[in-house]
Copies of this chain bind each other. A is one copy, B any other.
């Protein structure tokens, strides 16, 4: 399958590497691919330069947001939440239309210090903003409640006995998303929380995720809904 992953940070890289390993044709997109490749210092999130990662993953193509979006039959928004709407605008509505857009981003706002707050929450969400801005895209919010390494390999925690959540307005796209999470990464427990307004709920998990990160001193955890 051709997959476009928007964003070259740790989340985008982790997802892209995992999908490429499954022999999918993956293109990651950035604002300015030449600049992305030229960078030789860690980025603002302390990720090593993209170039070093890319040398180890030569099967993953790099393009602009528009090229990656045009490439993909399915798209993943793995940009930093503060840049997501802009990045998707550069991707271009025509390249998003009719496609499943897995939105794994979170609207973290670092401007008030650590831990970050949310730039939007409670009565709106990044997922909804994306769906409103690009009505032809089939936005499914997914996997945004865990660290990237858990997104792509749930089995490493308690044999996969924990939960991912999806929400979105398009029923078929959600069904496809659940199928892909299972097929790609081995997710066994995916809960459908409803329409895209439920993105408020999953994005608002981030504050407790960040506190748990502090308490547990590792990002390698996830939530399980126990009944």
**Among A6-14, A36-44, A158-166, A169-177, which stretch is in contact with chain B?**
A158-166
CA distance A210 to B207 in the complex (A): 17
**Which residue of chain B has the shortest Cβ distance to A121 in the bound complex?**
B122
Residues of A193-227 whose CB lies within 8 A of B: 193-194, 198, 200-202, 204-205, 207-208, 210-212, 214-216, 218, 220-227
Given the contacts A117-B123, A121-B122, A194 and B223 also touching, CB distance less than 8 Å: no
Q: Is A133 an interface residue (CB 8 A)?
A: no
Contact status B212-A191, CB under 8 Å: yes
Cβ contact of A226, chosen from B117, B161, B167, cutoff 8 A: B161
**Which residue of chain B has the shortest Cβ distance to A203 in the bound complex?**
B207
Q: Is the interface of A mostly helix, strand, loop or mixed?
A: mixed
Cβ contact of A221, chosen from B193, B210, B225, cutoff 8 A: B225
Q: Is A112 an interface residue (CB 8 A)?
A: yes
Residues of chain B contacted by A194 (CB below 8 angstroms): 211, 214-215
Q: Is A157 an interface residue (CB 8 A)?
A: yes
Which of A122, A194, A221 has the most chain B CB within a 10 Å cutoff?
A122
CA distance A191 to B222 in the complex (A): 14
* Nearest CB of B to A173, in Å: 18
Interface string of A38-66 (1 = CB under 8 A from B): 00000000000000000000000000000
Cβ contact of A122, chosen from B122, B165, B216, cutoff 8 A: B122
Cβ contact of A157, chosen from B208, B211, B221, B226, cutoff 8 A: B226
Supply 29 A–B pairs (Cβ within 8 Å), ascending by A: A117-B122, A118-B122, A121-B121, A122-B207, A157-B227, A158-B226, A158-B227, A165-B208, A167-B211, A192-B215, A193-B208, A194-B211, A194-B214, A194-B215, A201-B210, A202-B208, A204-B207, A204-B208, A205-B208, A212-B225, A216-B227, A218-B227, A220-B227, A222-B225, A222-B226, A223-B224, A223-B225, A224-B224, A224-B225
* Shortest beta-carbon contacts, A-B, top 7: A201-B207, A201-B208, A162-B226, A193-B211, A224-B224, A204-B204, A201-B211
